């Protein structure tokens, strides 16, 4: 396996469709309601947000609008309509249209009225009544036939899922009101307390901090209440204003259900951190690593196929027992005596981009910058124009004493306000009052630490079911929670829901000489060494670059590699071993340049002495951008082990990187191009992302084309996606003599709130791009959203104890969405913990494959990722797109050389 020393952080490779670049004064915008005043930090904000000032500071203050917390935010405007680009009708028998012609006019197309601004996760909580048109896409007709969206292949199996049925609920009609506070207040707990002083008048209600839901319609519809804030005896005026009626069956009922659930969870002595509740009383200490694990729960209520269900999943919050100030002192102590090291730069690189939690109110923030010129004694402007230090603010607002004056302030950008108002609001935080959360790359690479954590976080199905059942019983046995449920005539079951599933037939793979089964665990490693690979590319010459001290180890390794390749009928000649004096990055770069100029090899293998990211990056940038030569990087310790199993995997990779394919899974349909697409952010330039597209180029789906398009924050991603499809179609025709007769696209990295945007922009632009090649009839196309990070789990209901479902298990009923063409697939086998299924949502389907064929095609493709002799969680083109996007964003930081676009150089 080609080692990338920099381990991926969770979420790094996930891309989101970018917001259309629209102005705030366009038609369709809704101005903010005039009766609400802008908040100011000293009275209503959780943190001071004004630029600190100090005597003698010469730099101009940064313009910072006040933090729009607690006010009704205006909805993003619809972009103005623009002309649709004309469709040049070009048949497959004519000359390919230039890529510039294909993408011409796409920018104006994205500005049509259909290009709705996507709603992100949490954007509708407590803001307004939910409008399902913003995040729903129409269900394709192909899933509405006689069998609906359900397949028929495979062996039926009975499963359990981590959903609890809601056995009865009220057919209620609710009234929604908005509650505003004067002076304004940010703290939700304080808001609830102020409102609770009028419970006798208001009766039963639900309140989320902004919106109040009641079964009573108040008269008059707008009225004021006066409360006393207990912390300082301040009189606060609450204005309650009617906004809308929520009828039975409205989707907003789900919002109310979730508010009620969260009220019940508050009675369980759980602590709300972010969006989830955690049990501080059950925390697990790992003192040897200075970590705490807080067990908790992710919960949500939703409408599913035939009922309303509560989804519950266990969660763990990693709390580091060190403040940001502790980390700063550690950086100083560890690096102050080292020559050439700047402890302050190390501190900044270690804290910027991470998430912290404030000790005084358990709020989480992402750190975007460190302001060395500001300290807790710096001043900021109050609402009335007077100035106040941070030390005074935290003492008066939170009762917290700051003990260390000389510490830089942390800066967090309020991105919600930036998205809604077009300006950036900065929140200033004190390192002493912030705790580090999560785990770093260094921690991920610490095998002992991860092993110690896994003892508590890797839970098998039997243990998971027990913890989920205990949670449900705890909820139902709480007298306060039961009273809350009874008040709203709501009854929950403590039994997990039964779900029917099907186990698809075991797939058959083909080598060059015979076929063999993938096996019940979908692992065919044992077949690789004894059978010839499906296709073996020609390796005329190749070079190993290594420090001269390691020549003997490298020679022995080359012999083992030749032996492993020979067993798979891959002709691997003896390599040319090129040595250098040391293992520095620039020594590799210079040696590689000389080797290419003198030897012109098919492939270069570099043996690096340690897993240093800078050496790896220099090598990859040299061979993937400057010079288009496939490369393999191997750690010296793996070379010295000289393990035949490792050599077998490397031999397979070498073959794949120069055009070969180790195995094949037959896919009957001919003329189909299968596309994977994913996005990764640039590791250094946070406003730059890379969209990677990978497309199959033959009927065997063993040959690939790839391209990478960079785009900046705020730039429409859809244009680059359409451009990539145009390039793929052009390449497909040059290799096959005609365009594909159908296209299936697997799109990763899309959140629930962006699905409508993807459907209304990306899919529309892709169709327009295809019209340039096929004419107005275009080409049958299926567009599938792939989601890996989900809370849903499934358990095989075995007689002895619950087990993980077998690979190939499909679930397409009970816990799927009735408004979607969707299904779950468990494609891989795990030996520890609970397997996580993958969710597939078909948002466009003019290809009209039967649901059963779509499910089977998806499962087949999970067998085709050549870096692993087993199934993976997503279809191979999607996984390859992730690998390419990650390599580009984290290592290359520029698009790769187009001379490699037909090779799996990124495997």
CA atoms in the 13 A half-sphere facing the CB of 53: 14
CATH number at residue 234: 3.30.70
Q: Do 471 and 487 share a domain, yes or no?
A: yes
Confidence of residue 215 (pLDDT cuts 50, 70, 90): confident
What is the pLDDT confidence band of residue 471, given thresholds at 50, 70 and 90? very high
552 assigned to some structural domain:
yes
What pLDDT shows up at residue 83? 37
Which domain does 626 fall in, by range? 536-657
Q: How far apart are CA 533 and CA 55, in angstroms?
A: 73
- Comparing CA positions, the residue from 880, 883, 786, 889 lying closest to residue 839 is 786
Do 375 and 471 belong together in one domain?
A: no
Q: Answer yes or no: is 242 within a domain.
A: yes
Q: What is the CATH number of the domain that holds 631?
A: 3.40.50.2300
d(CA 382, CA 377): 15
**887-899 exposure pattern, b = at least 16 Cβ within 10 A, e = fewer:** bbbbbbbeebbee
Taking alpha carbons only, the member of 654, 643, 661 closest to residue 697 is 661
| Nearest residue to 560 via CA among 633, 640, 647, 646 | 647
User: What element of type H or E holds 415?
Assistant: helix 415-421
Q: Give, as one character, the DSSP assignment of residue 122.
A: T
Same domain, 259 and 311: yes
pLDDT tens string 838-871:
999 999 999 999 999 999 999 999 999 999 999 9
φ, ψ (nearest 5 deg) of residue 675: -120, 140
pLDDT at 17 > cutoff 60: no
- Percent above pLDDT 90 for the chain: 54
Average confidence score pLDDT of the chain: 83
pLDDT of residue 756: 86
Work out the widest C-alpha separation in the chain, in whole angstroms.
89
Residue 671 backbone class (left: φ over 0; alpha: ψ -120 to 50; beta: rest): left
Q: What is the DSSP letter of 18?
A: P
pLDDT-derived band at 714, boundaries 50, 70, 90:
low
305 and 327 housed in the same domain: no
**Residue 649 corresponds to which tokens in the numbers above?**
């995997």
* One domain for residues 575 and 644: yes
In a domain, 140, yes or no: no
Of 247, 267, 282, the one marking the end of a domain is: 247
Q: Are 308 and 166 in contact (CB under 8 A)?
A: yes
| pLDDT of 412 above 80 | yes
Q: How far is CA 793 from CA 156, 399, 450, 836, 902, in A?
A: 18, 43, 23, 6, 38
pLDDT score, position 817:
93
Element (H, E) at 795: strand 794-796
Residue 89 lies in a domain: no
In the sheet with 174-182, reading across from the earlier edge strand, the strands are 205-207, 211-214, 174-182, 234-246, 222-229
Element (H, E) at 441: helix 441-444
- Residue pair 538/887 in contact (Cβ under 8 Å)? The answer is no
CB of 782 closer than 8 Å to CB of 868: no
Query: Is residue 409 packed enough to be buried (19+ CB in 10 Å), middle (13-18) or exposed (0-12)?
Result: buried
Kindly indicate the confidence band of residue 160, based on its pLDDT and cuts at 50, 70 and 90: very high
pLDDT for 79 equals: 36
How many CB atoms are located within 10 Å of the residue 59 CB? 7
Distances (CA, A) of 256 to 191, 235, 249, 458: 18, 30, 12, 33
CB 581, CB 545: distance < 8 Å: no
User: Please, which pLDDT band fits residue 547 given cuts at 50, 70 and 90?
Assistant: very high
Whether residue 695 contacts residue 82, with contact meaning beta carbons closer than 8 Å, is answered with: no
What pLDDT score does 51 carry? 46
Same domain, 193 and 287: no
Residue 510 exposed, middle or buried by CB count within 10 Å (0-12, 13-18, 19+):
middle
Residue 342: pLDDT band (50, 70, 90) is confident
Three-state DSSP class for residue 790? coil
Top pLDDT among 415 and 257 is at 257
Residue 615 included in any domain:
yes
What band does 555 get if pLDDT is binned at 50, 70 and 90?
very high
- Residue 821: closest CA among 795, 850, 798: 850
Length of the chain counted residue by residue: 907
Answer with the one of 189, 216, 247 that is the final residue of a domain: 247
Residue 688: strand pairing partners: 712
Give residue-wise pLDDT tens across range 770-789.
Answer: 999 999 888 999 999 999 99
Strands annotated E in 324-415? 355-358, 364-366, 369-371, 379-381, 387-389, 409-414
Kindly state whether residue 156 falls inside one of the protein's structural domains: no
pLDDT one-digit tens code per residue, 227-276: 999 878 899 999 999 999 987 667 777 888 888 898 899 889 888 877 88
Residues paired with residue 149 on neighbouring β-strands, in sequence order? none
- Alpha carbon distance 814, 501 (integer Å): 10
Note the pLDDT of residue 177.
95
| Confidence category of residue 85, pLDDT binned at 50, 70, 90 | very low
Omega into 183 within 30° of 0, i.e. cis?
yes
User: Do 238 and 260 fall within a single domain?
Assistant: no
- Assess whether 383 and 373 both reside in one domain: yes
In this prediction, residue 337 has a pLDDT band, given cuts at 50, 70 and 90, of low
Which has the higher per-residue pLDDT, 414 or 564? 564
pLDDT of residue 798 exceeding 90: no
Residues designated catalytic: 678, 716, 748, 882
Q: What is the CA radius of gyration of the chain?
A: 29
- Reduce the DSSP state of residue 687 to 3 states and report it: coil
Q: Is residue 525 part of a domain?
A: no
Sign of CA dihedral 704, 710, 715, 719: negative
Identify the residue with better confidence: 700 or 185.
Answer: 700
On whether both 407 and 295 belong to a single domain, the answer is no
Q: Is the pLDDT of residue 415 over 80?
A: no
Alpha carbon distance 485, 487 (integer Å): 5
Residue with the two structure tokens 């943190």: 47
Token pair of 845, please? Answer: 């389907």
Taking a C-beta distance cutoff of 8 angstroms, is the pair 84, 109 a contact? Answer: yes
Q: State the pairing for strand pair 576-580/603-608.
A: unpaired
**CB within 8 Å of 732: residues ≥ 6 apart:** 673, 695, 697, 705, 739, 740
* Nearest alpha carbon to residue 838 among 869, 878, 887: 878
Residue 22, pLDDT > 50, answer no
At residue 92 the predicted structure's pLDDT band, cuts being 50, 70 and 90, is very low
pLDDT for the residue numbered 810 = 98
In a domain, 209, yes or no: yes
Residue 123 has pLDDT above 90, yes or no: no
Task: Indicate if 265 and 407 belong to the same structural domain.
Answer: no
Give the residue from 863, 877, 571, 635 showing the smallest Cα distance to 745.
877
Same domain, 331 and 423: yes
How does DSSP assign 800-868, residue by residue?
A: SS-BPPPTTEEE-SSSS-TTS-EEEEE----SSS----EEEEEEEESS---HHHHHHHHHHHTT--TTS
pLDDT digits (tens, 9 = 90+) for 419-434: 333 445 788 999 999 9
560 and 631 in a single domain? The answer is yes
Q: What is the pLDDT of residues 30-65, one digit of tens each?
A: 333 333 333 333 333 334 444 444 443 343 333 333
Domain harbouring 334, CATH code? 2.170.260.10
Q: 3-state class of 473 per DSSP?
A: helix
User: Among the three residues 413, 444, 475, which one is the final residue of a domain in this structure?
Assistant: 444
Domains in the chain, number? 4
Instruction: Give me the pLDDT at residue 101, please.
Output: 60
* Spatial distance between the Cα atoms of 820 and 844, rounded to a whole number of angstroms: 11
The 10 Å Cβ neighbour count of residue 645 is: 12
Q: How confident is the model at residue 414 (pLDDT cuts 50, 70, 90)?
A: low
Instruction: Say yes or no to pLDDT of 656 above 50.
Output: yes
Q: Which stretch of 29-33, 263-267, 541-545, 730-734 has the lowest confidence by average pLDDT?
A: 29-33
Query: Residue 10: pLDDT band by 50, 70, 90 thresholds?
Result: very low
For residues 5 and 709, which has the higher predicted lDDT (pLDDT)?
709
């Amino acid at each position: 396996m080609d080692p990338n020393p920099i381990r991926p952080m969770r979420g790094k490779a996930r891309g989101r469709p970018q917001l259309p670049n629209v102005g705030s004064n366009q038609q369709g915008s809704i101005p903010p309601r005039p009766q609400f005043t802008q908040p100011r930090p000293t009275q209503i904000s959780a943190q001071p947000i004004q630029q600190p000032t100090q005597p003698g500071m010469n730099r101009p203050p940064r313009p910072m609008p006040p933090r729009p917390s607690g006010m009704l935010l205006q909805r993003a405007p619809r972009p103005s309509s623009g002309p649709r680009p004309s469709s040049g009708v070009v048949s497959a028998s004519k000359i390919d249209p230039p890529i510039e012609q294909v993408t011409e006019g796409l920018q104006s197309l994205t500005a049509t009225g259909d290009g709705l601004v996507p709603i992100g996760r949490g954007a509708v909580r407590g803001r307004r009544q939910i409008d399902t048109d913003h995040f729903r896409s129409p269900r394709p007709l192909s899933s509405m036939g006689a069998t609906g969206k359900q397949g028929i292949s495979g062996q039926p199996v009975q499963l359990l899922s981590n959903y609890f049925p809601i056995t009865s609920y009220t057919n209620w009609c609710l009234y929604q009101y908005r509650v505003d506070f004067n002076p304004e207040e940010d703290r939700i707990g304080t808001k609830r307390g102020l409102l609770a002083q009028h419970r006798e008048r208001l009766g039963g209600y639900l309140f989320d901090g902004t919106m109040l839901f009641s079964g009573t319609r108040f008269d008059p519809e707008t009225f004021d209440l006066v409360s006393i804030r207990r912390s300082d005896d301040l009189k606060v005026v609450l204005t309650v204003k009617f906004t809308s009626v929520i009828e039975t069956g409205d989707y907003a009922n789900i919002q109310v259900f979730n508010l009620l659930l969260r009220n019940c969870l508050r009675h369980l002595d759980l602590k709300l951190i972010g969006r989830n509740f955690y049990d501080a009383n059950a925390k697990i200490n790992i003192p040897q690593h200075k970590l705490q694990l807080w067990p908790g729960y992710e919960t949500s209520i939703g409408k599913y196929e035939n009922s309303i269900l509560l989804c519950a999943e266990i969660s763990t919050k990693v709390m580091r027992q060190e403040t940001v100030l502790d980390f700063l002192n550690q950086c100083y102590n560890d690096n102050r005596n080292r020559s050439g090291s700047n402890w302050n730069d190390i501190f900044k690189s270690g804290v910027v981009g991470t998430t912290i939690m404030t000790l005084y109110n358990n709020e989480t923030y992402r750190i975007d910058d460190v302001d060395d010129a500001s300290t807790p004694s710096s001043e900021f402007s109050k609402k009335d124009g007077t100035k106040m230090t941070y030390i005074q603010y935290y003492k008066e607002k939170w009762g917290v004493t700051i003990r260390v004056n000389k510490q830089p302030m942390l800066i967090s950008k309020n991105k919600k306000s930036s998205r809604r108002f077009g300006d950036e609001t900065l929140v200033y935080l004190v390192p002493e009052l912030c705790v580090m959360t999560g785990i770093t790359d260094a921690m991920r690479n610490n095998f002992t630490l991860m092993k110690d954590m896994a003892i508590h976080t890797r839970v098998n199905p039997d243990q998971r079911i027990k913890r989920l059942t205990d949670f449900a019983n705890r909820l139902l046995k709480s007298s306060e929670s039961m009273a809350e449920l009874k008040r709203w005539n709501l009854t929950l079951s403590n039994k997990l829901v039964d779900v029917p599933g099907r186990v698809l037939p075991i797939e058959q793979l083909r080598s060059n000489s015979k076929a063999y089964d993938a096996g019940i665990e979908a692992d065919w490693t044992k077949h690789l060494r004894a059978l010839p690979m499906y296709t073996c590319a020609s390796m005329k010459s190749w070079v190993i670059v290594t420090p001269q001290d390691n020549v003997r180890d490298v020679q022995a390794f080359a012999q083992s590699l030749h032996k492993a390749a020979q067993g798979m009928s891959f002709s691997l000649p003896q390599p040319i071993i090129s040595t250098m004096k040391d293992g520095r990055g620039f020594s590799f770069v210079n040696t590689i340049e000389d080797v290419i100029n003198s030897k012109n090899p098919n492939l270069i293998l570099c043996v690096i002495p340690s897993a240093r990211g800078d050496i790896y990056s220099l090598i990859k940038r040299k061979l993937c951008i400057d010079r288009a030569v496939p490369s393999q990087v191997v750690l010296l310790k793996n070379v010295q082990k000289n393990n035949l199993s490792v050599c077998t995997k490397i031999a397979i990779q070498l073959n794949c990187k120069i055009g070969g394919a180790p195995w094949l899974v037959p896919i009957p349909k001919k003329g189909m191009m299968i596309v994977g697409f994913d996005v990764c952010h640039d590791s250094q330039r946070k406003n730059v992302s890379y969209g990677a597209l990978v497309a199959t180029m033959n009927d065997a789906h063993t040959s690939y084309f790839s391209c990478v398009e960079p785009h900046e924050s705020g730039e429409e991603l859809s244009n680059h996606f359409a451009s990539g499809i145009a390039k793929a179609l052009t390449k497909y025709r040059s290799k096959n003599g005609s365009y594909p007769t159908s296209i299936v696209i697997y799109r990763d990295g899309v959140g629930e709130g962006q699905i409508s945007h993807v459907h209304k922009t990306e899919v529309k632009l892709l169709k327009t791009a295809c019209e340039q090649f096929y004419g107005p009839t275009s080409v049958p196309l299926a567009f599938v959203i792939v989601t890996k990070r989900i809370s849903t789990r499934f358990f095989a209901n075995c007689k002895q104890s619950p087990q993980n479902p077998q690979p190939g298990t499909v679930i397409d009923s009970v816990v799927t969405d009735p408004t979607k063409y969707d299904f779950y697939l468990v494609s891989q086998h795990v030996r520890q913990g609970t397997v996580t299924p993958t969710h597939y949502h078909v948002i466009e389907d003019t290809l009209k494959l039967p649901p059963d064929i779509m499910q089977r095609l998806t499962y087949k493709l999970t067998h085709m990722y050549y870096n692993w002799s087993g199934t993976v969680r997503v279809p191979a083109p999607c996984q390859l797109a992730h690998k390419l996007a990650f390599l580009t964003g984290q290592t290359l930081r520029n698009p790769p050389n187009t001379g490699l676009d037909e090779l799996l150089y990124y495997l």
